[in-house]
Structure 1
């Protein structure tokens, strides 16, 4: 007996972070990725495959000066990211954790401007228990009768990171439990032939061995979804910025397309029609690279106006530097105090009134400041829309935080200081290593983890374990983000609602000219090599 057959293609973007045009905002140099390049790949795939669905898996609204400019400077213009997704005819989107960074009103305005539904079965209205962004799932019936069910899920760890006012009235349920609730409904009541879960989250275990790769906090639950929930055919993932394809976990086809439009995730399903409905006979995932793809002219034209205004805003001068605040080696800037990090900490202390501060060099791209500082340099160095909080913590908490930061380093096989592999894979986490001002300390990486703080003083005296100190830090760290549990639920002495980009710009403008300084209040050493 021969059966009718067809092919269904699922296309996924994830973690675009507002990166549309293939150019660096920091350097203006051309790059080989971005949504405009991915758009060309999307159109080519649609020409080849008539039965195609296109989904965004979250973290699209935040991440570049373009999105910052729209959210904070000129929100009267159409949202550039949503305009692009509308133009490309997305079938659905899932909110990621960074969708909440600019507050609920901004997110809701983006949802309202979308010509497609936003799906998240596990983000609920706290008062009603109903999905907070409309439907938990979407059923798309193709012209041949194949019914595709798409369930949206979002990492439930958002309350640990996000400012409370940005998620007020929302409840973030366990995505695994939400999948167990809704998938039987999609199968039985909606008669879905295929169940696709689009989950803004990643994997908490090694994809091959199943061994834990991170503390099982619930931030990532992709492996659990595959192993513990029946009925999932395809799992679209993100959040970790990994490039994952040609992968199956417990029979579930898995894909993750990295970040900033580097790849388009693609899942191909071979279908066969039986008397009881369509069945999947084969499934495979792959990544379609953005490299060598010409940017789509319609996307470039669509955001031309707001892009030009953003570039003009970025070139506005804020001040000047006497000395050198350029970052030549990001590793060295984390081993020996760099004037950029002392400056950021000094701004935090000035804005908050706190006399102790901690801050991170977020990535390995931050250029530092040249002689002339514009908004371009500011947003290139401070890439997140963080605000500040002053927490009241103990000396023991400070020591524990320093020990946590010290885990960033290891002594490698050659006996040299290096970044611990756990901070490089599956996702770079340079933002989880803090440098402090207002205290004096030494981290000896030759010592066992948990015993690396070999000097901890304030004003020439040892820090008192039970004494209380006011420390300023960004809102992500203040919530315990990065597994800094010692900061969770600590008293908030002061909450500064102005985000750090504005604080940095105001500080620089107010002084006009900065003088480079480094007080060398901390050091990272390899005691075994120095002894």
Structure 2
């Protein structure tokens, strides 16, 4: 038996036999049901017509593309550029006559892959409104050019999550949407760089199928996907594969034609994450079974080698039908020669044997193989390029992989060099996005940052929850649900995500603009409401408690408090309740929501309005479509699951516009129990956060961490009568911890005082109502020079956004 995995083969092995026997005219029938929630692929027919059409249109003309160096220095936002070296893009035809391969002939082929670009087209951070040399396709393009210069036998592909992720994605979908016949700037740039094919990520579906189809209709690049079907017809919604025929040059200079079969998959969980856009419209097959089914079809259609674009994390060496991250298993499928993966925003291979995935069997992080197949995962936002080198040999009448090596290369973040072709394509959308994000929507009286969001209640979450409750109260007015307590759940999206010390929200006190709101709320989620019970809330918060490691109260030495394997976007803080966590206890659930310790409980003192929450008590929780349609403990028991009209980000914008001046200070509705008193609990956050803890005895800065940009901090358990007074540097009151009832009373008094202040402020506003344009001048201006006309247009767009959103939904 070869090194390829065979232990996880499903009943689709029978399907493979049928495909091979039938050749190109086949009907593929899934033999097993995908067991993930909402994923229905049992007995799904993949139509004969779809496979035949995909096969007949697969071949393209042979081509060889060589690109000269395209280095250019850029200014931060203006995109003015000056060539450093020749910046001409050339297309050359191989002058060597294409020969028929002979036994023993060799060919060196290079696969280049990007993944999870998330509309990071330009080397620019729209949230900070300044250039960033760590991200952007314009930076990745330099690596592409260099890699092509080393070996011109190149296949260039993108692995999805391409059209969503930054304000530029929002701008081209909502504010200045892609029109019929207009190319999306992301795909226009990929075409200009010579990409051969792309696949679809889960975020391609965020703006709905109509938008996606329009974008792809204007796109000349083949977009392949083998596991999304039209529910009504049972046919593939996209091309299940393409065969790209290219003319390459062997070591002796002889031209050889090679047929590259390319297919792709997306996680079946898109049916959960984008339920509102996809329910009843598409069916999604298990990723592994879909690729297993497609390999023999591509082989029969003439593919010499098989490349899989797997928009799926690598996962682990265990396999369940319908699971999200199966890159490991796809690498083990017979006939697959190379895999470009992504989705997890992680990196593989490490190149030195120290990577995360190398703990699993048959994973080689030095040579970059999984079960013997070369695999790359090139990070996120264009910060890396994946490179797979295949040494092919022609034996027994076919091309075979004799050797391989995979690696990833990081962009040069010390240089301002970027690709001029990409910058020119991006110019209009980039500058429009900058004007859009600079529009002021209000003022914040206190800083909003997320540096300590994982160890204490936090202003970056508080403002989201405040806005969501405000919105839900309006939407539910006059309905039966309005009589129930309305709570809100939100999580920190930027809290040092995946070891990135720049991935924190940091908004100073003063004017707040759309760019700041986008920094608070990264994703294009839609608001949703759930009706749950007190018992459901307990399970929901027990799941959130997975953010913390279990600590030992008997250990006097340092202990890490944060579970870095837990995704911070799953650490929900539910406002409207008060509660505590006892993290000396074990977790009830693992990071995927599976029960670990059925009898375990970390949640303590769960109260509403000062009274303990009962199991049968009913609540409305406003959240987002991702959480509402997921498999979170507690959430999955909701008796009402309903989408509202606006995206969460637009809710925050509308809330700030209504309030004009906001106070995002955290209300400290959650804390830890005194079981951790006196322990040495450590965590990492951005090193510069040390400047924010002068008056905070609960946090101590210990020094710079070994990880770039991070510092080591200690969390100190402090019993305070009023956490707000503590942060303001005031003297402590009682040494005893507040009871839930006392905290609720304090919160009610603070809310009442805030409402009185709000009334007075609104009265004053009626007398002297400033225009948005006059206060917009207070914003710091960076990058390109503002245009008054564009500012007025931008302000008009803001006022229209709620109506545009409502119409869209």
TM-score, scaled to structure 2: 0.61
Alpha-carbon distance in structure 2 between the residues aligned to 1:461 and 1:123: 48
**Whole-Å separation in 2 of the counterparts to 1:140 and 1:128:** 27
Is 2:486 the partner of 1:355? yes
| TM-fit CA distance, 1:225 | 2.1
1:21-420 equivalences under 5 Å are 21-27=122-128, 28-76=130-178, 78-133=183-238, 135-143=239-247, 144-166=256-278, 168-187=280-299, 189-205=300-316, 210=317, 218-227=323-332, 229-245=333-349, 246-274=367-395, 276-291=397-412, 294-322=417-445, 324-327=446-449, 330=451, 332-353=452-473, 355-364=486-495, 365-368=504-507, 370-411=509-550, 414-416=557-559, 418-420=561-563
Q: CA RMSD in A?
A: 2.1
Alpha-carbon distance between aligned partners in 2 of 1:461 and 1:39, rounded to the nearest angstrom? 59
Q: How far, CA to CA, are the matches of 1:185 and 1:30 in structure 2?
A: 44
CA drift of 1:167 comes to 5.3
Shift of 1:318: 0.6
Q: CA deviation at 1:110?
A: 1.6
Question: Could you say if the C-alpha distance between residues 152 and 308 of structure 1 is closer, same or farther in structure 2, counting changes exceeding 3 Å?
Answer: same
Distance 1:515 1:248, change over 3 A: closer
Q: Could you tell me how far 1:284 is from its partner in structure 2? A: 1.1
How many residues end up aligned between the 2 structures?
A: 512
Assess, with a 3 A threshold, how the Cα gap between structure 1 residues 421 and 342 changes in structure 2: closer, same or farther.
Answer: closer
Contact 2:538–2:634 (CA under 8 A) maintained in structure 1? no
Q: Does 1:467 align with 2:590?
A: no
Give how far 1:517 is off.
4.0
In the aligned structure 2, how far is the partner of 1:63 from the partner of 1:94?
16
> Following the alignment from structure 2 to structure 1, what is the Cα–Cα distance between the partners of residues 618 and 278?
29
Unaligned stretches of 5+ residues in structure 1:
424-428
Structure with greater contact order relative to length (CA < 8 Å, sep ≥ 6)? 1
What is the CA distance between 1:528 and its match in structure 2? 3.5
Say whether the 8 Å CA contact 1:352–1:494 is kept in structure 2.
Answer: no
1:349 & 1:372 partners in 2: Cα distance? Answer: 23
SS of equivalent to 1:410: coil
The change in CA–CA distance for 1:225 and 1:343 in structure 2 (over 3 A counts) is same
Instruction: Please give the per-residue CA displacement for 1:215-266, whole angstroms capped at 9, x wherever unaligned.
Output: 9860111222233x32111111100111102322222111110101011111
Is 1:439–1:521's contact at 8 Å kept on the other side of the alignment?
yes
Which structure 2 segments of 5+ residues have no match? 1-101, 248-255, 350-366, 474-484, 496-503, 589-600, 680-809
Residues in 2 aligned to 1:248 and 1:493: alpha-carbon distance in whole angstroms: 43
Cα-to-partner distance string for 1:405-424 (whole Å, 9 max, x where unaligned): 0110125574556211322x
Mapped pair 1:452 → 2:602: yes
Say which SS state the counterpart of residue 142 (structure 1) adopts. Answer: strand
Deviation of 1:299 after TM superposition, in Å, equals 0.7
Return the offset for 1:363: 1.5
Contact 2:488–2:575 (Cα < 8 Å) also in 1:
yes
Looking at structure 2, the residues matched to 68 and 319 of structure 1 have their Cα atoms a distance apart, in angstroms, of: 20
TM-score (norm 1): 0.91
**CA shift at 1:5, angstroms?**
1.7
> CA shift at 1:2, angstroms?
7.2
Note if 1:14 corresponds to 2:115: yes
